[in-house]
Amino acid sequence: MRNISINEEITFDYAMRNYSIDYFPPKCVCGSEFCRERVTGWKDLPETKKEEYKGFVAPYLYDLDAEIV
């Protein structure tokens, strides 16, 4: 997370609000240097990425993780 400039194009990680992603092309084209190269949902994120997103994601994602464990 960082500040953005006026007129800067921003990107969004769908995993921050969707538990699973079913209907996206196989390769992401966002162009971010931090891109995971595929659009995935929260359930497919590594724990390190989930920790990085802590406090910025939809709260129900944590509830779904807890139900599955």
How many structural domains compose the chain?
1
- The answer to whether 42 and 15 are in contact (CB under 8 A) is yes
pTM score of the predicted model: 0.77
Residue 2 lies in a domain: no
**Residue among 58, 62, 59, 47 nearest 12 (CA):** 58
d(C-alpha 49, C-alpha 69), whole Å: 18
| 48: containing domain | 14-68
d(CA 27, CA 17) in angstroms, rounded, equals: 19
- Residue 4 included in any domain: no
- Please report whether residue 3 resides in a domain: no
Q: Look-up: residue for tokens 């464990």?
A: 69
d(CA 22, CA 20): 7
- pLDDT tens digits along 21-67: 888 887 888 888 888 888 889 999 999 999 999 999 999 999 998 88
Between residues 1 and 7, the one the model is more confident about: 7
